[in-house]
Amino acid sequence: MADVLLTLIMPDDVAQHVADLLLSRPDLVPGFTANAAEGHGSAIPLVEDADLVAGHAPRTVIRTVGPEAAKREVLALIRRELPHANIFFWMTPVIDSGRL
């Protein structure tokens, strides 16, 4: 099965829970990258005063590459363990990957 890139975008207060889940399953996620992002748009609730002033909400992006079946298991794990986490995701095909 071909590799995919799984991208997860979540509120900052959920990020550590998701990272812990991913770290608990090295069979599904041998590694991932996390970075800060800003959520913009009508689908992003601006709750904190700072969010309202800035016009965006802080988010964390986590990306991981691997077999599609493993990434689908990751999504099922997150759905089961964090059912109300408010995580947006997508998967895209990976043409090539490796280490240089």
pLDDT for the residue 53: 47
Q: What is the mean pLDDT of the chain?
A: 87
83-96 pLDDT, tens digit per residue, is: 999 899 999 999 99
52-70 pLDDT, tens digit per residue, is: 445 667 889 999 999 999 9
pLDDT for the residue 48: 59
Residue type, 56: H
- Cβ contacts of residue 49 below 8 Å, gap of 6+? none
Q: Quote the pTM value.
A: 0.84
CB 10 within 8 A of CB 86: yes
pLDDT for the residue 31: 96
Structure tokens at 21: 């889940």
Give me the half-sphere count of Cα atoms (radius 13 Å) on the Cβ side of residue 65: 10
Rounded Cα gap, residues 16 and 9, in angstroms = 12
